[in-house]
């Protein structure tokens, strides 16, 4: 996918979700190399081979609900529902160029209308105030704390059934 809108395409601020395309993964790779984004998410960047192997596993797992987040036709990030440690989890990654525009909140809201599993949990680094705010705007509440790989986390949960908000 191109890094610029199609010629003549109006900038509307529209957020859409669609199935991941192979070309999207190259953009995801570049986004996950951002040092500030890595600090916020408390995740280390992966080298290309490790990243591609990770994404090959995700794309082949039928239990994973995975969508590309588009903003004005550009790949802004991704959002995923997956099973882990006996619970259904949601996670997302937004490229830094797209922070602060309401994209994560809009994308998560749209995703939640498609992801029926409840309760649905998210684990987020305590320092990632932006992501915590996005989750809480979408109805998640803090239900616990934890630690993973030396990172202190909040556990947030969405219990309400899917449906109109």
pLDDT at 92 exceeding the cut of 90? yes
Query: In the predicted model, what is the mean pLDDT of the chain?
Result: 91
Residue 5 lies in a domain: no
Q: Which residues have CB under 8 Å from 38's CB, separation 6+?
A: 32, 44, 45
Task: Confirm whether 140 is domain-assigned.
Answer: no
The conformational region for residue 72 under phi > 0 = left, psi -120 to 50 = alpha, else beta, is left
- Structural domain total, the chain: 1
| CA nearest neighbour of 77 among 138, 16, 128 | 16
User: Is residue 147 one of the residues assigned to a domain?
Assistant: no
- Give the mean model confidence (pLDDT) for residues 111-117: 95
In a domain, 148, yes or no: no
Please count the other Cβ atoms lying within 10 Å of the Cβ belonging to residue 87.
14
For residue 95, give its domain range: 15-117
In degrees and rounded to multiples of 5, residue 84 shows phi and psi of -155, 130
* 20-61 per-position pLDDT tens digit: 999 999 999 999 999 999 888 888 899 999 999 999 999 999
Tell me whether residue 163 is in a domain: no
pLDDT at 2 over 80: no
> Is position 143 within any domain?
no
Q: Report the CATH number that the domain containing residue 52 is assigned in CATH.
A: 3.40.630.30
C-beta neighbour count of 85 within 10 angstroms: 7
Answer yes or no: is 93 within a domain: yes
């Amino acid at each position: 996918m191109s890094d610029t809108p199609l010629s003549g395409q109006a900038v509307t601020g529209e957020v859409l979700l669609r199935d991941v395309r192979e070309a999207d993964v190259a953009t995801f790779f570049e986004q996950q190399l951002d040092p500030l984004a890595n600090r916020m998410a408390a995740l280390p960047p992966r080298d290309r081979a490790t990243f591609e192997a990770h994404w090959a596993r995700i794309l082949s797992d039928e239990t994973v609900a995975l969508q590309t987040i588009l903003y004005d036709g550009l790949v802004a990030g991704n959002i995923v529902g997956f099973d882990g440690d006996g619970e259904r989890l949601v996670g997302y990654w937004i490229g830094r160029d797209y922070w602060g525009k309401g994209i994560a909140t809009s994308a998560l809201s749209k995703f939640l209308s498609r992801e029926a599993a409840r309760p649905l949990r998210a684990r987020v680094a305590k320092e990632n105030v932006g992501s915590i705010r996005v989750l809480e705007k979408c109805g998640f509440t803090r239900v616990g704390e934890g630690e993973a790989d030396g990172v202190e986390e909040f556990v947030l949960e969405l219990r309400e059934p899917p449906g109109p908000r």
